[in-house]
Structure 1
Amino acid sequence: MAEIENRPTNFIRNIIDADLASGKHQQTHTRFPPEPNGFLHIGHAKSICLNFGIAQDYNGLCNLRFDDTNPEKEDINYVNSIKEDVNWLGFQWSGEIQYSSNYFDKLYQYAVELIEKGLAYVCFLTPEQAREYRGTLKEPGKNSPYRDTPVAENLALFEKMKNGEFKEGECVLRAKIDMASSFMVLRDPIIYRIRFAHHHQTGDKWCIYPMYDFTHCISDALEGITHSLCTLEFQDNRRLYDWVLDNISLECHPQQIEFSRLNLEYTIMSKRKLNQLVVDGHVDGWDDPRMPTIAGLRRRGYTPGSIREFCKRIGVTKQDNLVEMGMLEACIRDDLNENAPRAMAVLDPVRVVIENYPQEQVEMLDAPNHPNKEEMGSRQLPFTREVFIEREDFRVEANKKFKRLVLGKEVRLRNAYVIKAERIDEDEQGNITTIYCSYDPETLGKNPADGRKVKGVIHWVSASHCIEAEVRQYDRLFNVPNPGAAEDITDALNPESLKVVKNAKLEPSLSEAAALKGYQFERTGYFCRDDHFAHLVFNQTVGLRDSWAKIEQQDKGQ
């Protein structure tokens, strides 16, 4: 009982609670119905968490159904990627995977039933003529000249459509509803069209395919769905959803309920536009870590828990809004801060020589894998006379706010000793090539605050024992908050969305890093190993702090 009281609530759950309390339904049954015409993105994750989450919380059922009515744009690879994404997010569908194509025979019979009732007809208007007859938002449409074709003739024509006796585009089957309706979706919509296309499930059995709006509601009813949850753009389509089910011989009539889709800053949620980025080569595939696809987020190092938490935080409402990217990044940052082991990596190295450290000595220092979790254990770091530090962590001169290494002053090396910068070498261009330091052997393992005034702590790796890797640092794919509003989305692309660092220096333990496992590179950010490459590559998941927040505040202030 306590579990029921503590579960989240929203207007959809309130409807479900009322339906169960009244006895309208004995068990909830939802479904997640993607079209297999692209990879799922973060917006679909919201729907996945909603539909499967309701099934979990109410001890109900949730189907995974592919609404596969458009064979020209669908592919079995998309089917497989969607199954993987749902499982990765932590959900399991009820029973076997469903396909709308499983119901093509029944859908055909329901179309015949509508014809027999005088509620559907074969129309030979060209697409241009059909648009003209349809009318506008201010003017009613006109009846097609084929609207009153006798039932027997319509049945014969529809049979010819099924048998491939008409060309593509020559005719369609339309529902006979109301050409004067204020809802455009009810102005005799197309419910079947001719397509001579191979289908990934049914092969070449069919050359006519049902439209989504006709298929979706019948599929829901055939599967016994109680609550058909969809986004707000389908609100008007609910009239057609109900009309179809009210006029065929199916007892089950699911309730369609709409909620607001996810709109995320610096992101697009259109599969068509995402596909454009892939096809035109602006990104390296659907799983490019800059993409908002679930596959891209996974490859970048996002965890299932962080995405579920994000969906929980944004909630479910009917109010359209633009969610800040910082909210998504905060979820993965919170997750990895608690669960990611620490490691050290130097991305822009400069050599440090500790002149008073024995030249051949290799000292193994113990370093905790997490500063607050002893149960995560520790690893051994080789310490040697020569190490690498970040170039930005050293200055010849600096003010008091700079808490790193300065010539003539001290700093602590993380999990190691206090060192002092004594002198430097520079090349002909004035670039620092080597920093010569001394160290205090009495400072190992001591806290800088314990009587020793050092300004800060910096990370490092042994020059002779480190490993080299490619590190890919990602920024937002677009440089405007609402790229979908741009006439050409390519104009909004961020040219700095990917920075590749060659030959970064990493502590040796990272050679055994598991793919997709998150690590905090101390003082730098969170990273994970990318197994798409033959060589060692780490992707940046997110920085240690939201570097965009200040920029966005300044922009809003302007």
Structure 2
Amino acid sequence: MKDQSNFIKTIMEEDLKSGKHDTIITRFPPEPNGFLHIGHARAIIINFELAKVFGGYTNLRFDDTNPETEDEMYVKAIKRDVEWLGYTPHGIYFASNYFDEMFERAVLLIKKGLAYVDDQTAEEIQKTRGDILTPGIESPYRNRSVEENLKLFYEMRDGKYKEGEKVLRAKIDMASPNMNMRDPVLYRISFAVHHNTKDKYKIYPMYDFAHPIEDAIEGITHSLCSLEFEDHRPLYDWVVRETEMPKVPRQIEFGRLGLKNTVMSKRFLKQLVTENLVDGWDDPRLPTIGGLRRKGYTKEAIRSFILATGLSKVNSEVEVDMLEAFVRDDLQAKAKRAFAVINPLKVTITNYPEDKIEYVDVPYHPDFDYGSRKIAFGRNIYIEKEDFSEVKPDNKYKRLSLGNEVRLFHTYFIKAYDVIKDENGEIIEVLATYDPETKSGSGFNSRKPDGTIHFVEASQAIKAQFNFYGPLLVGDDSKDLIERFNRDSLHIKYGFVENALKDVQLYDKFQFVRNGYFNTDHSKEDLLVFNETVALKSSYK
């Protein structure tokens, strides 16, 4: 971002030049009510990278004002995701750290005649707000005295009233063309146990009241948020001004970045998790940061993608292919090469000794020193079913067929001469011979094979599960999201990987030759598990 220009960066530069600020301070303020997704990744990267450009810093602050939906599990997951993306917050804070001060600021508003306790129900308040063309109707409790409002507000704090029985509202303008300024609710009663403060509080501030105060307390200079908060900015400024906060942050909105055919609604993602339609918040089918990490995406690829899309004042949407291209480009340099046979077909090399295994030392990467592994070769091997055809279909076919030969990567030429079929006529084994004079690296090149294919030696092959992922949603986009959930979005195949991978670790990344990029997942007993990250294909254009 240092070499990029955008409207927020320009504002920050001007504020530093004018002396308005001497340090740029931003914040990332997630609500701990779910796992972060790729949209949050954009907010994280923008906040941290912009502050870093100017030598400033960024706070991680949890907007934990809604105890009914929040949980410590989410707090831990969010911390982990921010750290995984490569960022260390200047400080980690919670809105709940400031509940006492927020209460006192609300008392100040009451004393100034700018807040009142309303006995109307939520439904009644909603009905009297009006709409864009119709002014709202003032509450019958709007003109309570300061003394009565203070008494009632303290009683709300002390738990004297039931949930929904009373709220504290700002007294602004029920005829304002901005609906957010029509006496918004500032506090409501809740007896839910808070993940941080437990049962200490019986009332909780609303987001629109709490957020500007949090920013002001922390001295945030530029409060960056997505475009839907643009209409909330007058209320943000009102709260900071009327609560008489010493430091005045500036809210700036930027456009959201979406991925086509990708839903990032926390409510929808949570429903998938709670109804066990996916394997938790980090299911690789989900656009959560945890899901992308488990799928094999790298933090470098995600950062590069976010920065490449730029920063705009309007919402935008890009193809998933673009994100995958950044992942693929990053993995080309990082993923070790290895052999995996995903749809195995047994090949017996009948002229090779039964009790002999030989090894070839091969580097894990052709361009980087990631070490090497030993590829085993023996009488029995597995190849991909797609790499064999009884009859060569045409001259463009560059795989194994009866009467024709191929090179096995790093080893020998083999020629197929017969097949064994089951009672249904399905080929279960190919019989072949090898030419010992054609070993790779021996200088033999007098004839050209029909192609080169990969293989895994059978006696040392390790069983593996390969997970492939389809789109999360299918069908008519006018239908409910759960109706559109693709229950066929996970495909599992069982095959083998070469023996060199027996000690793989979680999140080890491989380019399985001719098959794609894969990430090592949580393995099972006697079964390695790999998730497809991206297929092998050219980069996004």
* 1:140 maps to amino acid: P
Question: Is the 8 Å Cα contact of residues 486 and 492 (structure 1) preserved in structure 2?
Answer: no
* Corresponding residue number in structure 1 for 2:155: 160
Q: Does residue 496 of structure 2 align to residue 500 of structure 1?
A: no
* Corresponding residue number in structure 2 for 1:70: 66
Deviation (angstroms), 1:536: 2.2
Distance 2:234 2:170 in 1: 13
* Corresponding residue number in structure 1 for 2:231: 236
* Corresponding residue number in structure 2 for 1:371: 366
* Corresponding residue number in structure 1 for 2:388: 394
Q: Deviations over 1:89-130 (max 9, x none)?
A: 1000003x1000000000000000001111000011122211
Distance 2:150 2:396 in 1: 83
Q: Does residue 536 of structure 2 align to residue 544 of structure 1?
A: yes
Distance 2:55 2:111 in 1: 41
Deviation (angstroms), 1:447: 9.7
Q: Deviations over 1:347-372 (max 9, x none)?
A: 11111111222221111112221123
Deviation (angstroms), 1:445: 1.6
Q: Does residue 506 of structure 2 align to residue 515 of structure 1?
A: yes
Distance 1:266 1:447 in 2: 51
Alignment of 1:104-143 (within 5 A): 104-143=99-138
TM-score (norm 1): 0.94
User: What secondary structure sits across from 2:502 in the alignment?
Assistant: helix
* Corresponding residue number in structure 2 for 1:555: none
User: Which residue, out of 506, 510, 518, partners 1:527?
Assistant: 518
Q: 1:356 to 1:206 in 2, by over 3 A?
A: same
Distance 2:85 2:274 in 1: 27
Distance 1:204 1:546 in 2: 56
Q: 1:215 to 1:533 in 2, by over 3 A?
A: farther
* Identical amino acids, percent of aligned pairs: 51
Deviation (angstroms), 1:12: 0.9
Distance 2:234 2:447 in 1: 75
Alignment of 1:95-494 (within 5 A): 95=91, 97-373=92-368, 375-397=369-391, 398-446=393-441, 450-479=445-474, 486-494=478-486
Q: Deviations over 1:55-86 (max 9, x none)?
A: 22221010000000000100001000000000
Distance 2:216 2:142 in 1: 28
Deviation (angstroms), 1:46: 0.4
* 1:525 maps to amino acid: G
Q: 1:90 to 1:448 in 2, by over 3 A?
A: farther
Deviates more, 1:489-498 or 1:267-276: 489-498
**What 5-or-longer segments of structure 1 have no aligned partner?**
551-558
Question: Is the 8 Å Cα contact of residues 64 and 94 (structure 2) preserved in structure 1?
Answer: yes
* Corresponding residue number in structure 2 for 1:12: 8
* 1:392 maps to amino acid: E
* Corresponding residue number in structure 1 for 2:53: 57
Distance 1:442 1:211 in 2: 78
Question: Is the 8 Å Cα contact of residues 339 and 498 (structure 2) preserved in structure 1?
Answer: yes
User: What secondary structure sits across from 1:291 in the alignment?
Assistant: coil
Distance 1:492 1:128 in 2: 32
* 1:127 maps to amino acid: A
User: What secondary structure sits across from 1:388 in the alignment?
Assistant: strand
Distance 1:424 1:385 in 2: 16
Q: 1:414 to 1:448 in 2, by over 3 A?
A: farther
Distance 1:353 1:384 in 2: 9
Deviation (angstroms), 1:400: 1.9
Q: Deviations over 1:367-420 (max 9, x none)?
A: 2211233x2232101100110000011011211222111211111111111111
Deviation (angstroms), 1:545: 2.1
* Corresponding residue number in structure 2 for 1:554: none
* 2:492 maps to amino acid: V
Distance 2:227 2:524 in 1: 41
Deviation (angstroms), 1:495: 3.2
Q: Deviations over 1:294-326 (max 9, x none)?
A: 111111111111111111122211122221100
Q: 1:124 to 1:528 in 2, by over 3 A?
A: same
* Corresponding residue number in structure 1 for 2:77: 81
Q: Deviations over 1:462-504 (max 9, x none)?
A: 0111111222122222236xx8x543112222233111123x1
* 2:389 maps to amino acid: R
* 2:375 maps to amino acid: L
RMSD of Structure 2 on Structure 1 (CA): 1.8
Deviation (angstroms), 1:143: 0.8
Question: Is the 8 Å Cα contact of residues 462 and 507 (structure 1) preserved in structure 2?
Answer: yes
Deviates more, 1:440-449 or 1:128-137: 440-449
Q: 1:448 to 1:346 in 2, by over 3 A?
A: farther
Distance 2:505 2:478 in 1: 39
Distance 1:298 1:451 in 2: 47
Q: Deviations over 1:429-473 (max 9, x none)?
A: 111111111112122225999443223211100011111122212
Distance 2:21 2:444 in 1: 65
Question: Is the 8 Å Cα contact of residues 167 and 194 (structure 1) preserved in structure 2?
Answer: yes
User: What secondary structure sits across from 1:473 in the alignment?
Assistant: strand
* Corresponding residue number in structure 2 for 1:553: none
Distance 1:82 1:450 in 2: 57
Deviation (angstroms), 1:533: 4.2
Deviates more, 1:101-110 or 1:305-314: 305-314
Question: Is the 8 Å Cα contact of residues 114 and 247 (structure 1) preserved in structure 2?
Answer: yes
* 1:147 maps to amino acid: R
Question: Is the 8 Å Cα contact of residues 474 and 498 (structure 1) preserved in structure 2?
Answer: yes
Distance 1:252 1:218 in 2: 10
* Corresponding residue number in structure 1 for 2:26: 30
Q: 1:289 to 1:7 in 2, by over 3 A?
A: same
* 1:176 maps to amino acid: K
Distance 2:112 2:434 in 1: 92
Question: Is the 8 Å Cα contact of residues 437 and 444 (structure 2) preserved in structure 1?
Answer: no
Deviation (angstroms), 1:421: 1.2
Aligned length: 539
Deviation (angstroms), 1:9: 2.0
Deviation (angstroms), 1:264: 0.9
